[in-house]
Chains A and B, each alone.
Chain A
Amino acid sequence: MQISKDFIAGKSVPRLRMQGVRKRFGATVALDGVDLSVESGEILALVGENGAGKSTLMKVLSGAHAPDEGKMWLDGQEYRPRDPLEARRRGVAMIYQELSLAKDLSVMENILLGMEPVWGPFLRWPEMKRRAADAMAQLRRPDIDPRIPLGKLSLAQQQLVEIGRAICIGCRVLVLDEPTSSLAQSDIRQLFELVKRLKAGGLAIVYISHFLEEVREISDRFIVLRDGKSVGGGSTVSTGTAQIISMMVGRSVDDLYPRSVRKAGDVVLEVKHLAGESRPVDANFSLRAGEVFGIAGLIGAGRTELLRSIFGLQPIKSGEVRVAAYVGSASPARRWAEKVGLLSEDRKSEGLAVGLSIADNLTMTRLGWLVSPSHQAAQSRRWIAKLGIRCRSPWQAVSDLSGGNQQKIAIARLLHHDVDVFLLDEPTRGIDVGSKAEIYRLIDELACRGKAILMVSSYLPELLGVCDRIAVMCKGRLVRSVPVDQTNEHQIMLEATGALETA
């Protein structure tokens, strides 16, 4: 796809412009010619699959990496930051997915970290408080007390503090990397309003996201990155989601959610009045072989805790979990032996030992007393080929791979263990559209082969697309489920927010 001259150059002098930016690490080409520009008072969405080069581009922009080739301009002046500090001084601020704040310091110390107002060697505390309060007021959140420790705030509030810090340094370009990935729906709304206000205030905003719905809602223009190149872009309003996706994956994704004719069999997992320490409160459902059962709900509703209690990772206070014919106390080892497998929602800190190799991660649940590395490698190669995992060898560290490929390894572990019951917690979180499509297809195939799949997701279109039955969990309770064709997004949201409680 060609990008028109107008599109690159913009009408006037753009706030930020990049042209022909290239960056390679050893033999890996991370960026292979990126052109983009963003005006002041504009929100530019940057989309692309994982591994497309978004994070490298961010690092080039923030001064963490110097580009090998290409030029950047800020308000028409050449911009070539030597380090992140200089980038910040020039007014380019980054809000990363993982916030870079000090949890033990107060809000104001965080906001002014590295640029504290001083009088000789002494901090001017009143001035600090004033400036921090100013910044929070600009964000229309004067309710956040600048003096309290950051750790006491919710994740969404912490994110605001980080944005406040960007405002405080007088940033001209604000880059947001997947800012909604860990926010609840209501917080997302607030964030969007804030971003729009900042835009109206003349900031140039680069918005990076996997969620195309969000991109459509918030951005004016978008640009697609694929294999380190900017391959297209345009006005968000006049481009369809399907079109954006096909630009991202380089092929058209006509059917994202395949659904073969499936037939539910015997009940393989039954949960009755399950209660944990605080969550779940009362969960009831049964899962049949050959069906995909989805659990929707808000963050904090206890969906993850439900899966973890079933799997023995969290204590059960009362209630019963029956796997096939067995009832009894749970431990992960026991569940694996019963052919139940859990895919963790948190790939990096629980799902995978990222420092270990693909082979070790993949075969960890199924090791005999004696281990043959060549056998491990051979088995891993099979799954690498079958799931199309991009890697160099089974002994490559998992940390080297992109999010989508990491997730495929986490799923391959369940496949390798040949489990009958799949407990999938947010199986497509943080991965690219291409990998998502492959995972949906895999789920469909597994169900067709008689596997039982329990899937927790915060992304409703995905649940509605993939599942046969859906239950909504609200405040730790899960009582009834309905066939997917008898519900819709609106209905689910009503139930999830507890609006139906009185009905």
Chain B
Amino acid sequence: MTTSQIPMQTPPPLYAGSPPSSAERFSGLLGTMGPIAGLLFVFVIFAILEPRTFLTMDNMQIVLLNTAVVGTAALGATVIIIAGGIDLSVGANIALCTVVIALCRLHGLAPMLAVLVGIAASASVGLVIGLLVTQCNLSSFIITLGLWGAVRGVAKRLAGGSEISTPPSWISHLLQMLPPGRKWMIVPPGVWLLLILSLFVTLVLRYTRFGRHVFAIGSNEHTARLCGVPITRTKLLIFVFATIFAGIAGVLQFSYLNNLGDPTTANGYELNVIAAVVIGGASLSGGRGNIFGTLIGALLMTMVANGCNKVPSLTNADQDIVTGVIIVAAAGFDQFRQSRGTAK
């Protein structure tokens, strides 16, 4: 760089170097601690209410197991939401993936190949979203609202209207309770996969140009354009990248269903996924979000569902109410945090 010789007169910067104010620290702490505190709170409540059924190693494994599908899909959703978009078709996309894998298996494809084709099918949905967003200038909300029905319809068509059972394979080991012989893994491979993918997406968001561009586009697309960010290409990439995670979630779901392709599975998952991302501290208006928070959010959502099932007096309806309250509380909490952060 040759810019070092600018001899600007610099009045001593007023605030530079001074440590963050206590209010700032407080809000920063809230940012990471908020979701964790919520998770602990939920955990403690159910642990007290139903210590015998909720607080067992097996049940904790089930919670993690259930987190894997939503969590993996939420990794992709986090990227989309940071970029200022949304994907309402993620549940349908998971179902599509299970159906495609099942069909491939029925046609004699090797498990690994079937998995890859399934993921590719999901990613092609992302490509469609991306093309419509960039070429027709439609909002991702509208497009994916349409695809929410259309993709599930395609899945049903492909499946011929019913579930598809497939011959046993290693895929089902990904997300099933560990058999006694494999307790050394501590948690099922699918959960490890989720953790590895989380680390991967965190690194992508933080340390790659693509990741920084995701934040730039979500925060202010005009600025990104001004700065020469290739908007069209990046957006396409974002949707394909994100739906690959929906595909991987589909693989896990296929495993969880014990090698079953089911066009009606993962119904309503899109809401759990989006809730997990928002609870994790992402802003639906874009520009903000983090993977760690998303994971906590996904775990929180699963734990609430699991815990409500364990409490005999709570019905499905109550579970829906609790879930709704948590989402609104998380959003309100985030608002509070933001208003504290910018008291100027």
Contacts and interface: CB of A to CB of B under 8 A. Distances in A.
Interface in A318-370: 331-337, 342, 344, 349-356, 360-361, 364-365, 367-370
B55 to A, nearest CB: 40
A380 to B, nearest CB: 11
A28 interface: yes
B22 A371 contact: no
Contacts of B288: 355
A339 to B, nearest CB: 11
Contact of B227 (A355, A365, A386, A442): A365
Contacts of B3: 415-416, 418
Contacts of A438: 8-9
Contacts of B10: 385-388
Contacts of B227: 332, 336, 364-365, 413
A213 B20 CA distance: 39
A344 B222 CA distance: 10
B6 A373 contact: no
A288 to B, nearest CB: 19
Interface residues on B, range: 35 or more
Contacts of A388: 8-11, 13
Interface in A398-453: 399-400, 413, 415-416, 418, 438, 441-442, 445-446, 449
A30 interface: yes
Interface stretch (A218-226, A389-397, A464-472): A389-397
B211 A371 contact: yes
A26 B213 CA distance: 33
Contact of A27 (B8, B21, B211, B219): B21
A332 B226 contact: yes
A356 B219 contact: yes
B176 to A, nearest CB: 38
Given A350-B226, A369-B209, A26 B1 contact: no
A311 B227 CA distance: 11
B208 A313 contact: no
Contacts of A445: 6-8
A370 B342 contact: no
A172 B24 CA distance: 39
A25 interface: yes
A384 interface: yes
A389 B12 CA distance: 9
A390 B15 contact: yes
Contacts of B22: 26-27
Contact of A392 (B1, B5, B15): B15
A352 B287 CA distance: 13
Contacts of B18: 392
A391 B208 contact: no
Given A350-B223, A367-B212, A371-B209, A335 B8 contact: no
Interface string B60-101: 000000000000000000000000000000000000000000
Residue from the set A25, A352, A371, A387 with the largest chain B CB neighbour count within 10 Å? A371
A33 to B, nearest CB: 18
Given A30-B344, A385-B16, A416-B3, A355 B208 contact: no
A446 B220 CA distance: 29
Contact of A352 (B19, B21, B220): B220
B287 A355 contact: yes
Interface string B312-331: 00000000000000000000
A438 B7 CA distance: 11
Given A27-B21, A392-B20, A335 B228 contact: yes
A353 B216 contact: yes
A372 interface: yes
Interface string B155-175: 000000000000000000000
A386 B6 contact: yes
Interface string B225-247: 11111100000000000000000
A384 B16 contact: yes
B13 A385 contact: yes
B342 A364 contact: no
B184 interface: no
Contact of B206 (A313, A334, A373): A373
Contact of A26 (B9, B14, B23, B224): B23
Interface string A372-388: 11000000001011111
B298 to A, nearest CB: 24
29 contacts: A26-B343, A28-B344, A313-B225, A313-B226, A331-B228, A333-B230, A336-B227, A342-B226, A353-B216, A353-B224, A356-B219, A356-B220, A360-B212, A364-B223, A367-B209, A367-B213, A370-B207, A370-B208, A371-B212, A382-B4, A388-B8, A388-B9, A389-B13, A390-B14, A391-B16, A418-B2, A418-B3, A442-B6, A445-B6
Interface of B: 1-11, 13-24, 206-209, 211-213, 215-216, 219-220, 222-230, 287-288, 341-344
Closest 5 CB pairs of A and B: A333-B228, A26-B23, A353-B220, A353-B219, A25-B343
